[in-house]
Structure 1
Amino acid sequence: MTHIAPAIIVLGNNSIPVARKIISVLPEAQLYGLADRTSDVDVSFTEFGATLRELFANGTPIIGFCATGILIRTLAPLLANKRQEPPVLAVAEDGSAVVPLLGGLNGVNNLARQIASVLSVIPAITTTGDIRFGIALEDPPVGYRLSNPEYAKGFMSDLLAGHTMRLEGNAAWLRNSSLPIVQDAQRVIEVTEKAVFSTLNHLVYHPATVAIGITPLNSSFRGEGSELITLVQQMLTDAELAPAAVAGVFASISDTAEPGLEAIANYLNVPIRFFTRDAITQVMSQHQTADVAVGAALAASAGELIGQRQTANFSCAIAIAPLPIDINTTGTPRGRLAIIGTGPGRSDWMSPEVKEILRNATDFVGYSTYLDLVSAFTKGKHLHESDNREEIARAKVALDLAAQGRFVAVISSGDPGIYAMAAAVFEVLDKQAKPEWQGIEIQVAPGISAMQAAAAKMGAPLGHDFCVISLSDILKPWSIIEQRISAAAEADFVIAFYNPVSKQRTWQLAEAQNILLRHRSPDTPVVVARNLGREAESTIVCTLENLVPEHADMRTVILVGSSKTRMIQKRDGGIWVYTPRRYDN
């Protein structure tokens, strides 16, 4: 499974000292604490079941300071595929017990040993093969792939019944185990890069030692990757190499925008890693070659070149490393840039997609106030703060960081595509178009907008046609804003006003009110919502005539009803506001 930082779940402050011990050996882990019962945690949650199920569904390893039964009952509805489930462990509140529960094929026993070691206890491992031989055949270490996992259970059962085995090939984790290895045994475990057929009595592990170097030769070629896939397939077949032994696809960082790289990496289900031109040139000089593909393959493997071929559009080279290639320390990944919306501010209003991005990003770029909204996710991350007005500069910083192979999250409140950073990033990408930006994987993750949150608080004021207008005249002249207000008012739209007032802009909202009163009844309902989802949240309903512009600021969104918008008095004295979907004559 892809490496994801574990989540340590605590339900009370008594567990936190033990949890901190675990973090000392798992520094990337995040500490989740139940709200109102814990303090000084990375992430605070209110719904135990929903939080655990979300983490589990995202493949996050879970270390729960609670009874095993609670974890089992909470996650039971999600248990479907044991080969995909993440590690799940229960730890006693005082650290006296560590119990691996799920994820036996994804390293849960090794994780349990690691945790138990720092807590000075014996992990409650119940896997028979693991206890007797110190190894789980279905769960090889990183860098090895079992070609026939469906045979592993029966093979282990035979060994537990007294049969012996012989080891062909080199793998220290097998050689140093307690497996019953003898030279003349009929059952075989083989470690090889070669494409070897496996049987019930012959397990085959492929070490991730094969590096595929690729460079495009025709900059104008715009193929879909089929040519490159055919070329790599043929080269692997001719060299009798198993695709499962491929560690990754490697190329120059100047070729990150080449779509064929993504196609072949997806076909082989391996990552892409990039080297700087200088790193590849140095290797090319050492091996006296002018082929960038050869340089990339050798830079990744530090091993032996197996083959090299060219088509009209690509050069491909294959090299084999003496040991499995550590993909996390070899080259850099394709840069990722995610522009996310936090919603108005509350963590439970963030989408699961946004939370997953925040957990995995390496760098956070944003206005300092917005970075504070995601502080629960910034532990150990690089923060790049800027003033709220520096959107273009902020976008450039984010793109440059992503071009270095980093995973960058650009933080906006509300929705990133509504008066926020998504437009700024694409504007810079469009107008400056640096070549190194072209290979960046860009994603926009939506959030709950301020107008949606305000509408939900008060009922359904956006129930029919509406429009959104920013009253900020920093980036567009007031004359245009004035025209749009008049047009929207005349067309009888419900209007959501963003950026109504700031320290420098104090008259625009009052002027907008005057324009609206030329077209709307003074009794038109108006919703004034401030600091939604944050401290000092307030939402009031007034009429257009009684709107007080001085009560608004940059953290306020204002919803002005249409001629059809209605108010309903609640028993508690509050008011619902809605705009009917039907226009009755």
Structure 2
Amino acid sequence: MTPAVIVLLGANSIPVAKKIISVLPGAQLYGLAGRTSDVDVAFTEFGATLRELFANGTPIIGICATGILIRTLAPLLANKRQEPPVIAVAEDGSAVVPLLGGLNGVNNLARQIASVLDVKPAITTTGDIRFGIALEDPPVGYRLANPDDAKSFMSDLLAGHSVKLEGNAPWLRNSSLPIDQNAERVIQITEKPVVSTSTRLVYHPATVAIGVSCTSPRPIGHPSSLAGRGRGWGSEEIALVQQMLADAELAPASVAGVFASTLDAANPALQAIADALNVPIRFFTTDEIAAVMSQNNTADGAVAIALAASSGRLVMQRQSSDFSCAMAIAQGAVAKPIALAPLPIDINSTGKPRGRLAIIGTGPGGGDWMSPEVKEILRNATDLVGYSTYLGLVGSLGNGKRWHESDNREELARGQMALDLAAEGRFVAVVSSGDPGIYAMAAAVFEVLDQEAKPEWQGIEIQVAPGISAMQAAAAKIGAPLGHDFCAISLSDILKPWSIIEQRITAAAQADFVIAFYNPVSKQRLWQLAETRNILLRYRHPDTTVVLARNLGRDGESVEVYTLEDLAPELADMRTVILVGSSKTRMIQRCDGSVWVYTPRRYDEDKTS
């Protein structure tokens, strides 16, 4: 289940919220801005925030009146099978009321919350009250084949009918259902694709593990490797798996997941199979697979993967030219060669998910400049990697994450750490200020990936989430100095020689670019900015407009305008970005004595000043 969000409207709700969050790992606190503090996310629009969470399938626990939740979410109520749990909790913790999500575990979630608050949940579902069970909402590990029949089936039981159980399901045996092995109404638990009816509910236990080993990745140019052409990635593999399930008389609903080696994690065929079956993917390391191969005396990696996933024994195997598959199921005996294991597979403790690495930019400083994409990544990440100053920019979005801090000059070591963490199946966010692709960590991560190329890194899912760069923020604060052609140059000579920097400054000055200078001055580098000014003065007028923006989005922010002639090292530091105008850049005097700076969109040589 997606981690829940606990919604607070006032500071008085925080004690109850902290009790609730203690039993809901991964839950986040959303608090109304101005009325709450020490929350993960502050919001200003209650209705819009709740509706967005609900639409995204996020369980909502509102510490507020039931009425406000109902009225807020009423316009979105269309499909009860897709509704996430919604629960109202009294501010003093005296009441826990499940409102929505009856088919997605709301009653169990309400019981969990009520237990920590030492109250009885206000569950009103008749079947749940009488039998201690909701037939439409089976526990994790079981899927109901005919949910549309569950309501009438439960009505029959409430009216006095008894039920016969076929198969093994402790959660049904331990309930208060009127069980009678001679009953006409039947609940069947089976991996087989049997026919269900209004008097026969069928539950499929998630006991089938599909082990996949992609032995020869398709080359570039293969018809299936080109997006939008041919049958697409995985079509042959999907057909093979579906045929295997049919031959073994196994219901696709009993597939717990697709399992593979971490070395194959990037192969899109895996995701195609998982999507076709609507199941997750989990991975085993080469060492784990090798151990199972040794224990079971098999040389087939897919066989070992399936056995590792199911704790069973192999009974079926088929191969195609570049794909092999083995399956193992958890219970029931069949004549065909299929491996068996005793219980539904716990997908959360079997293998590990594909590692994710997001390289994000927080913007120059304040949270207002952080993109929704970056905020979403920070909410979901398990680990944050970065320079301590930049990690501090994430604010409350960093709460509950593992922090991995390092010195600002350890970019390559930081990139290696992030890749290693992601290779363990974690969701890692590498945090940069500004934009991660502009003099920041994105290039460092790809540099490490390129130079070291560890096999276990190849399966990591990597994304770069852009942020507002310092030059964009500086330009926005003063007007539009980047309104025409511009370039960016770093004055740091740590990673490139000054001779190269000098050539680029000269070329940019000659080409009449607006120039954004990053890293202009540090404690060890005091002369480079003065030399930069001297180079520019060979090609630019002394009155050329220069913008110095410091601590953008943070305490002590300043944006000042000088002339090129007055530019001096003592005016800047490493937290300053400098924008040097072109010959066309203009200033507009404002009535309050300040100025706007802009560079016209039109560039006419005959009007050069």
1:325 aligns with 2:345: yes
Residues 303 and 326 in structure 2, CA contact (< 8 A), matched pair in contact too: yes
1:311 aligns with 2:320: yes
1:291 aligns with 2:300: yes
In the superposition, the TM-score normalised over structure 2's length comes to 0.88
Q: Which of these residues, 143, 147, 150, is aligned with residue 149 of structure 1?
A: 147
Change in CA separation of 1:535 and 1:437 when aligned onto 2, cut-off 3 Å: same
1:344 aligns with 2:353: no
Give CA deviations for 1:205-229 in whole Å, capped at 9, x if unaligned: 2111101112234467776333322
AA in 2 matched with 1:295: A
Deviation at 1:423, TM superposition (A): 0.9
Deviation at 1:458, TM superposition (A): 2.5
Which residue of 2 is the match for residue 116 of structure 1? 114
Which residue of 2 is the match for residue 540 of structure 1? 560
CA distance in 2, matches of 1:241, 1:361: 36
Which residue of 1 is the match for residue 9 of structure 2? 11
Which residue of 2 is the match for residue 71 of structure 1? 69
Give CA deviations for 1:267-297 in whole Å, capped at 9, x if unaligned: 2222222223333333334333332222211
User: Per the alignment, in what secondary structure is the counterpart of residue 317 of structure 1?
Assistant: strand
Residues 305 and 320 in structure 1, CA contact (< 8 A), matched pair in contact too: no
1:243 aligns with 2:252: yes
1:171 aligns with 2:169: yes
Give percent identity, aligned residues only.
80
In the superposition, the TM-score normalised over structure 1's length comes to 0.92
User: Per the alignment, in what secondary structure is the counterpart of residue 305 of structure 1?
Assistant: coil
Which residue of 2 is the match for residue 104 of structure 1? 102
1:359 aligns with 2:379: yes
CA distance in 2, matches of 1:151, 1:572: 73
Deviation at 1:325, TM superposition (A): 0.6
AA in 2 matched with 1:402: A
Deviation at 1:328, TM superposition (A): 0.8
1:23 aligns with 2:43: no
CA distance in 2, matches of 1:305, 1:149: 32
1:377 aligns with 2:397: yes
CA distance in 1, matches of 2:131, 2:600: 70
Change in CA separation of 1:49 and 1:387 when aligned onto 2, cut-off 3 Å: farther
AA in 1 matched with 2:270: L
Deviation at 1:90, TM superposition (A): 2.2
Residues 361 and 467 in structure 2, CA contact (< 8 A), matched pair in contact too: yes
Change in CA separation of 1:73 and 1:262 when aligned onto 2, cut-off 3 Å: same
User: Per the alignment, in what secondary structure is the counterpart of residue 545 of structure 1?
Assistant: helix
- For residues 224-239 of structure 1, the aligned pairs below 5 Å read 224-239=233-248
Deviation at 1:388, TM superposition (A): 0.8
Change in CA separation of 1:282 and 1:432 when aligned onto 2, cut-off 3 Å: closer
1:469 aligns with 2:469: no
CA distance in 2, matches of 1:29, 1:192: 34
In structure 2, list runs of 5 or more residues that go unmatched.
Answer: 225-232, 331-341
Give CA deviations for 1:466-515 in whole Å, capped at 9, x if unaligned: 22222212112222222222322333322222212212122222322333
Q: Which of these residues, 423, 436, 457, is aligned with residue 416 of structure 1?
A: 436
CA distance in 2, matches of 1:97, 1:115: 10
Residues 58 and 356 in structure 1, CA contact (< 8 A), matched pair in contact too: no
Residues 4 and 360 in structure 1, CA contact (< 8 A), matched pair in contact too: no
CA distance in 2, matches of 1:226, 1:9: 44
User: Per the alignment, in what secondary structure is the counterpart of residue 210 of structure 2?
Assistant: strand
Give CA deviations for 1:58-85 in whole Å, capped at 9, x if unaligned: 4332222223343344445555544334
CA distance in 1, matches of 2:103, 2:567: 62
Give CA deviations for 1:400-452 in whole Å, capped at 9, x if unaligned: 22222222111111111111111111112122222221111111111122222
Deviation at 1:49, TM superposition (A): 4.4
Give CA deviations for 1:503-540 in whole Å, capped at 9, x if unaligned: 21222223223333333344433332222222222223
Which residue of 1 is the match for residue 192 of structure 2? 194
Give CA deviations for 1:231-265 in whole Å, capped at 9, x if unaligned: 21111110011111111122233443444323322
Change in CA separation of 1:219 and 1:32 when aligned onto 2, cut-off 3 Å: closer
Residues 462 and 578 in structure 1, CA contact (< 8 A), matched pair in contact too: yes
Residues 20 and 116 in structure 2, CA contact (< 8 A), matched pair in contact too: yes
AA in 1 matched with 2:235: S
Q: Which moved more, 1:261-270 or 1:374-383?
A: 374-383
Which residue of 2 is the match for residue 40 of structure 1? 38
Which residue of 1 is the match for residue 338 of structure 2? none
In structure 1, list runs of 5 or more residues that go unmatched.
Answer: none
CA distance in 2, matches of 1:61, 1:181: 33
**How many residue pairs are counted as aligned between the two chains?**
583
User: Per the alignment, in what secondary structure is the counterpart of residue 316 of structure 2?
Assistant: strand
Residues 306 and 320 in structure 1, CA contact (< 8 A), matched pair in contact too: no
